[in-house]
Amino acid sequence: MSTRLEADRADDRLAALREIVLENRDSILDIAPSEEVNNHVHTHYSFSPYSPTSVVYHARRSGLQAVGSVDHDSIGAAEELIEAARIIGIGSTVGCELRVSFAETPFSARRLNNPDTLGNAYIVLHGVPRDRIGELRRILRPIHAARNARNAAQVEMLNGILGEAGLEPLDFETQVIPLSWADREGSITERHILYALAGRLEEQFGRGRRLLDFLKGPFDLNLNDRVERYLSDEENPHFRYDLLGVLKSNLLPRFFVQPGIDECPSVREITALGLNLGAIPAYAYLGDVGESPTGDKATQAFEDAYLDELFQELPELGFRAVTYMPPRNTRDQLRRVQRLAQAQGMLEISGVDINSSRQVFTCPEVNSPDFRHLNTSTWALIAHEKLSTMDPRYGLFHQENPFSLRSLNERTELYAGIARRCDPRYPETMFELAPLV
């Protein structure tokens, strides 16, 4: 991979990708595509090893036919990812992940899908039309300011823990902010704080026994055998991401500061905003967690005990879809989610959040009979996004949609057909195909 895909300027990153495609470097154009897609890849605009252009490159290298960016509290990756996908010839979709308050709902005291908070939940605004990206970017600015004030307070709390363990404090301004793209309207997350700490720990203790003794001693962390192997491996290319995962699941609760309403607006406010923008508000199902595949979530119970009640409420709260990650749940959990989504007329959207170099872009589960319809949903989402950019009425859930008399399943199949027939290098031709259908 060209290091220029991680250049500082978007124009330089995109130029590097054009050269790769023009010269067919790494035989990038010869890689046989699978049916797989991934709608939920993070970028440097929240926390990730990848620029938006690099995301598209890795998606194509992995055989994906489509890829989507979803960053926490940021839509900054959208324009670059759309252009990069057009250059390399795969489908694209863009969105934004936000935390919202369920305080004025029956779930105000429940743990939804947020490990750290009661009554707050992660949701995704999927399929943001391209002409509304700038508007959403402006709306998110106050959330960034509120989050950064809390981030600074969390670093202060963490520094108290570090002092007790005999470590020097972290400086938010000089050691955490530079790890982010906050200067480009990206967000700063707890992962940035922990990545800064992971770097400090590696520099001071190295890899292996001294580090493990410190983590289990002064930090009093529980480490399983797999984690100990990762952190003892001198050649581990994912070392800091693995260490971050350990810190997130074990240490974060000790310095986490609860967000307020200025950072987590009401759920109805954000779903209404999403629908007004022409996006599709999706509830992000987590489900009870056993062993976390990314190593950053402890065993914990979430929505499963009251899932039927929750799904009854979601459409009234403004949700039009549910998004879930097939590798993270059991088949029984996901069959239940599918049954409830279909009963409520909600679109099912898949995606596996990529925020560590250890994770792979592929998700073979979506090719199984139980989940193959999620590939269709992705192509429908792509058509929704491109068509509603040209005419808002073509939004999948718009009241004046020309296909509104058809069922959601029929509309999904129809939209997916439009997107699949379109050359991804010329997505604007979808608008020419739609009336013909």
- Same-domain pairing of 59 and 16: yes
Rounded to whole angstroms, the Cα distance separating 184 from 194 reads 21
Q: Which two tokens stand for residue 191?
A: 């992962």
Contacting residues for 83 by C-beta, under 8 A, at least 6 apart: 14
> Which residue among 255, 276, 292 closes a domain?
255
**CA nearest to 72, candidates 124, 145, 138, 113:** 124
| Residue 291, pLDDT score | 54
- Same-domain pairing of 151 and 126: no
- Specify the DSSP class assigned to residue 133: H
Q: Which two tokens stand for residue 269?
A: 């406010």
User: Which CATH number covers residue 357?
Assistant: 3.20.20.140
| Residue 363, pLDDT score | 84
Contacting residues for 174 by C-beta, under 8 A, at least 6 apart: none
| Residue 357, pLDDT score | 93
- Same-domain pairing of 291 and 427: yes
pLDDT in tens, 387-432: 999 999 999 999 999 998 999 999 999 999 999 999 999 988 888 8
- Same-domain pairing of 166 and 194: yes
- Same-domain pairing of 266 and 338: yes
CA 60, 65, 71, 76 dihedral sign is positive
- Strands 37-41, 66-72: parallel, antiparallel or unpaired by DSSP? parallel
> Which residue among 191, 226, 255 closes a domain?
255
- Same-domain pairing of 290 and 381: yes
- β-sheet bridge partners, residue 71: 74, 96
Rounded to whole angstroms, the Cα distance separating 17 from 380 reads 26
Give SS3 for 356.
Answer: coil
- Same-domain pairing of 234 and 150: yes
- Same-domain pairing of 184 and 133: no
* Residue the block writes with tokens 């954000």: 270
Cα 345–Cα 348–Cα 350 angle in degrees, nearest 5: 170
DSSP result, 100-124:
EE-TTSTTTTS--S-TT-SSEEEEE
Q: Which two tokens stand for residue 273?
A: 């905003």
| Residue 369, pLDDT score | 87
Rounded to whole angstroms, the Cα distance separating 326 from 367 reads 11
> Which residue among 255, 289, 319 closes a domain?
255
- Same-domain pairing of 301 and 396: yes
Count up the domains in the chain and report the number: 2
φ and ψ of 99, to 5 deg? -100, 135
Angstrom CA distances, 178 to 142, 192, 247, 340, stand at 20, 9, 20, 43
Give SS3 for 290.
Answer: coil
* Residue the block writes with tokens 């020419």: 432
Rounded to whole angstroms, the Cα distance separating 101 from 269 reads 10
- Same-domain pairing of 283 and 232: no
The pTM score is 0.94
- Same-domain pairing of 94 and 186: no
The domain containing residue 137 runs over which residues?
3-141+262-436
The beta strand positions in 238-361, using DSSP E, are 280-284, 321-324, 347-350
DSSP result, 11-65:
HHHHHHHHHHHHHTGGGGGGSPP-S-EEEEE--TTSS-S--HHHHHHHHHHTT-S
- Same-domain pairing of 236 and 270: no
Which residues of the chain are under the pLDDT cut of 50?
Answer: 292-296
**CA nearest to 56, candidates 105, 17, 2:** 17
Angstrom CA distances, 428 to 81, 407, 423, 433, stand at 16, 25, 9, 10
